[in-house]
Structure 1
Amino acid sequence: MSSSSFSQIRSQALNSETQTEALLSKYSQISSQLSQSLEPSPEENTIKQQIKDILIKRETLLQKLNRISESSTQELSTSKIQQIQRHLQNLKDNEKTFNKIDQIIKEERDRNNLLFSVQSDISNHKRRNNPTENEEINQDSYILEESQRSDNLNSIANRLLQGAYQTRDELINQRNLLSNSNLNIMNNLQSIPGLNVLISKINSRKKRDTLILAVVIAVCILLLFFV
């Protein structure tokens, strides 16, 4: 039953990896077609959210595979252990690729926003210095331009916050992976016959040496007082 469950979940993991590669390819195409884009398109937001969702799904599938391997009454074959490690490495590689593409898109869009802001400032400066054109300025158009600039600044701040949240989530994920690794190591160590006895002897010897050292120091201090 455990082997059957392992195969089913691994099949889901393989399908998810294929879907991730396809979504990353689409997301990469968006990064090369930004041009003068100042705000994310609905398609971009959809693909980005799909990538985040499928990465979370793959992490959940890996956790299931690890639980099956830990609860299995029989020792897992080397090939299955290697399969789990390969899925984990693929997940890390896809996460790095996604973050890299996302960073490229952010930097390009920030550059476009900066260019738009500079062009807008230059245009406003020319209008202020030309009384004839200044009289022809439409007040509603000026308000819309200022509103656009404000929205652009807010958008940049939001993207910086999103980057901070993503960094925090990545650190949390790494901490969880390290915790799982430590737990697996401890379980493997406990399964080795006689290892616990050896560790207990080492700890007892350390305590004994510490006690002896404390007695020697106490005797030396007493001798210093009475001699």
Structure 2
Amino acid sequence: MSSSTFSQTRTQALGLEKQTEQLLSKFSQFQHQQTLDLTNDEITIKQQIEDILLKRDTIISKLNRISEVEPNLSTSKLQQLTRHKEKLNDDHLSFTKITNNINDERNKNNLLFNVQNDLNTHKQRQQREMNGNDYILEESQRVDNVNSIADRLLQGAFATRDELLNQRQYLNNAQSRIQSSLQRIPGLNVLISKINTRRKRDTLILATVIAVCILLLFFV
């Protein structure tokens, strides 16, 4: 009876071992996926493996009890029990190793992602600072241009003022020379007055002649 119970229990252990191998194979594929967080599939498979390992541990404990209460159990069955224990231990180690590899890969991906984010943030901050510096530089150039235009306008205004002052001085000097000449030459004022009077008379005569000609054109 104990031998039959041992065989039935061992059959369950073999079935769970096969399921464990399949699940470990699926679980190992997550080592190569560059994910930053746990996926639903990963969580599900991981939980299934943990449950099966726990069931296998329970079954091996049951096989141990059978071997203890059955002193005449064959050596081959005891060897089978030993292999089941070793297989369970190996699968525990494989599961732990795969889990650590997945965590290491995920930590590396998270680190790279964070570094990339930091670099992008730093570049964006530098770009904003450069844009700010460019704006300040452009404003400074505009101010310099305005100042340059203002300087040119002021220089032109000063040059115009100086030219007007020079012309005024020239006219004053000319007027002074004319007045001085008039004072030095006796009768020059009288001569100029006569010339002006004669010019006015000639102008009046010319205007009269032109008016008469126009009237003749209308009435003749």
**Normalising by structure 2, what TM-score?**
0.57
Is this contact kept in 2: 1:9–1:65, CA < 8 A? yes
Q: Does 1:92 align with 2:81?
A: no
- In structure 2, do the counterparts of structure 1 residues 133 and 19 end up closer, same or farther at CA, with 3 Å as the change threshold? farther
Look up the match of 1:12.
Answer: 12
- Counterpart in the other structure of 2:67: 69
Query: Alpha-carbon deviation of 1:130?
Result: 2.2
Matched, 1:81 2:78: yes
Q: Which residue of 2 aligns with 1:218?
A: none
- Identity over aligned residues, as a percent? 54
2:58 aligns to what SS in structure 1? helix
CA distance in 1, matches of 2:131, 2:112: 23
**2:34 is the counterpart of 1:25:** no
1:80 to partner: Cα distance: 0.7
Number of equivalences: 132
Contact residue 24 and residue 51 of structure 1 kept, 8 A: yes
Q: Deviations over 1:99-135 (max 9, x none)?
A: 1111111111000000010111111112222228999
Structure 2 vs 1, CA of residues 133 and 4 (structure 1 numbering), >3 Å: closer, same or farther? farther
Q: Which has the larger radius of gyration?
A: 2
Runs of 4+ aligned structure 1 residues displaced above 4 Å come to: 132-135
Q: Does 1:101 align with 2:98?
A: yes
Distance (whole Å) between structure 1 residues aligned to residue 43 and residue 53 of structure 2: 16
1:1-227 to 2 correspondence within 5 Å? 1-32=1-32, 34-35=33-34, 37-72=35-70, 74-131=71-128
Unpaired runs of at least 5, structure 2: 133-220
Closer, same or farther: CA 3–134 of 1 in aligned 2, 3 Å: farther
Give 1:223's aligned residue.
Answer: none
**CA displacement at 1:60 relative to structure 2:** 0.4
Distance 1:110 1:131 in 2: 31
Partner Cα distance (2:102, 2:65) in 1: 37
List gaps (5 residues or longer) in structure 1: 136-227
Distance in 1 separating the partners of 2:81 and 2:2: 15
